[in-house]
Amino acid sequence: MDNIVRAVYERDADAQRARRLQWFREARFGMFIHYSLFSQVADGEWCMSVENYTKEEYEKYARTFAPKPDCADEWCRTAKEAGAKYCVLTTRHHEGFSLWNSKVNPYNSYNYCGRDIVREFVDACRKYDLRVGLYSSLMDWHHPDGWKCAFDPDARRRFTDYIEAINTELLTNYGKIDILWYDMPYPMQSSEGWNSINRNNRLRQLQPDMLINNRSKLQEDFLTPEESIKPADGAYWEACMTFNGISWGYLDPDQAMPYSYTPQKIITMLNKCTANGGNLLLNIGPSADGSVPSEAIEPLKTVGNWLRENGEAVFGERPIIGGRYTGCGVNLASASADQKTIYLWNRIWPKNGEMRLGGYMEAPRRVTLLATGEELSFTLDGHRLFIHGLPECPTDKYAGISVIKMEFDSKPAFENMSYYPHLRYGDNIAGDLVQ
């Protein structure tokens, strides 16, 4: 019976996947928001476990939880200004505190400070036209069955029912939800242990267009590489990244700042995702009162300004090109869906007014600077393309990453570099001596 349920579930989910994923593939850039009681501790979101707090001792943070008014508006405004298209909020992290007016979990923000943060977040997402993602931990350090479920069948039944009930609330009471972002399937080790097929099946009926990530021990709609941007084979993926390589939850900004990403690094991450068929989910960990952490404000603004001028190279359906079309030692590339337009993201700008691109077998029709539309002249010599008359400095005033747009009549023939500059890759080197 279970096998039939699984087969039917997977067949139906597969059939709908491409349609469901479309907006997500085009959106490319989302913001993760890790906010809860741990934001007051400022030792990372795992502090309750890592520092061995007792439940009673940790509960004091529920009593002092005091989000400032409009914090959710601030998160979503920041995301919008940064150019993100969706947000994902930790509605209940491993510490087990629900950020909404939950009927099944009394340990929640409404009971302690009268605030339904999920409601505020969903409203703010709608205000700024952002898609809505709700993160939901499976592991729970506060629920009495959260660890007993590992070895006690009754506790397991109660706990998996609880997991379904809280997610049912989230997916019933807040209108359309775009992503259910599970995390940490622990202590059970299998989808059967978590009853994931039956639960996800029922939850999908509440939100038929919703995406589900791969962290309930089922692959579902997309994979979630963490702290690394790794293209995955055969499935769509979203890389989630902290802002500082240290913690998802709030840290003291002065100490976190030297580890934090610069706009240039964030734009490079966006390129890696865009060129390799994935999304970037970039995290912020708001402070105790919900303020956007200060070290993230300027970099995110800069990325947003850059995206407003160069978003054409990022958003929309993009082919997976990997390192193809870069042609010059220091730039990155992305391409339009039909690959007739190639975007060169120049992290390092050529000093002498000329850019040399290897591997292009044909000339473009037109070359322009994406941000200004200014035309650039070019010549093709064999498999080398020269772009001439470049301004002396990068024209991009935000991050120094100027994008050159090259338009071709058809997808350009491009041959990867060879290890010998004058040869094309695959050219036959006579003789068999190499061993």
> How many chain residues are in contact with ligand GLC, going by CB under 6 A?
8
Residues 371-378: contacts with CB under 8 Å, at least 24 apart: 371/309, 371/310, 371/395, 371/396, 371/402, 371/403, 376/404
Rounding to the nearest 10 degrees, give the CA dihedral for residues 216, 250, 83, 305. Answer: -160
CB of 62 to ligand GLC, least distance (A): 19
CB of 266 to ligand GLC, least distance (A): 17
**CA distance linking residue 83 with residue 260, whole number of Å:** 19
Select 240 or 307, whichever has its Cβ closest to ligand GLC: 240
CB of 181 to ligand GLC, least distance (A): 8
Does 184 participate in binding ligand GLC (rule CB under 6 A)? yes
Report whether 425 contacts 417 (CB < 8 A). yes
Q: In what order do the strands lie in the sheet with 402-407?
A: 331-335, 341-346, 402-407, 366-369
Q: Which residues contact 63 (CB under 8 A, 6 or more apart)?
A: 112
Phi, psi of 235 (to 5 degrees): -145, 150
Q: Which of 140, 183, 220, 238 binds ligand GLC (CB under 6 A)?
A: 183
Q: What is the DSSP string of 272-330?
A: HHHHTTEEEEEEE---TT-PPPHHHHHHHHHHHHHHHHHGGGTSS-----TTTT--STT
CB of 121 to ligand GLC, least distance (A): 16
Q: Which of residues 288-317 bind ligand GLC (CB under 6 A)?
A: none
Select 86 or 343, whichever has its Cβ closest to ligand GLC: 86
Q: Which of residues 46-65 bind ligand GLC (CB under 6 A)?
A: 46
CB of 105 to ligand GLC, least distance (A): 18
Nearest to 117 by CA among 35, 181, 177, 182: 35
**Locate tokens 């007016």: which residue?**
101
Nearest to 316 by CA among 22, 19, 18: 22
Select 93 or 115, whichever has its Cβ closest to ligand GLC: 93
Select 89 or 387, whichever has its Cβ closest to ligand GLC: 89
Select 34 or 199, whichever has its Cβ closest to ligand GLC: 34
For residue 48, give the H/E element and its range.
Answer: helix 47-50
Q: Which of 209, 226, 392, 427 binds ligand GLC (CB under 6 A)?
A: 226
Select 213 or 310, whichever has its Cβ closest to ligand GLC: 213
Does 222 participate in binding ligand GLC (rule CB under 6 A)? no
Select 35 or 398, whichever has its Cβ closest to ligand GLC: 35
- List strand residue ranges (DSSP E) for 347-425, in order: 355-358, 366-369, 377-381, 384-388, 402-407
**CA distance linking residue 27 with residue 81, whole number of Å:** 15
Select 184 or 257, whichever has its Cβ closest to ligand GLC: 184
Report whether 147 contacts 186 (CB < 8 A). no
Site string for ligand GLC, 247-286 (x = CB under 6 A): -x--------------------------------------
CB of 63 to ligand GLC, least distance (A): 23
Select 281 or 342, whichever has its Cβ closest to ligand GLC: 281
Site string for ligand GLC, 136-175 (x = CB under 6 A): ----------------------------------------
Select 113 or 184, whichever has its Cβ closest to ligand GLC: 184
Q: Which of 30, 45, 87, 279 binds ligand GLC (CB under 6 A)?
A: 45
Nearest to 343 by CA among 262, 415, 271, 269: 271
Q: Which of residues 25-44 bind ligand GLC (CB under 6 A)?
A: 34
CB of 215 to ligand GLC, least distance (A): 8
Q: Which of residues 391-410 bind ligand GLC (CB under 6 A)?
A: none
User: What angle is formed at CA 310 by the lines to CA 309 and CA 315, rounded to 5 degrees?
Assistant: 125
Q: Which of 33, 84, 240, 284 binds ligand GLC (CB under 6 A)?
A: 240
The token pair that represents 355 in the structure block: 């850019």
What are the residues binding ligand GLC (CB under 6 A)? Answer: 34, 45-46, 183-184, 226, 240, 248
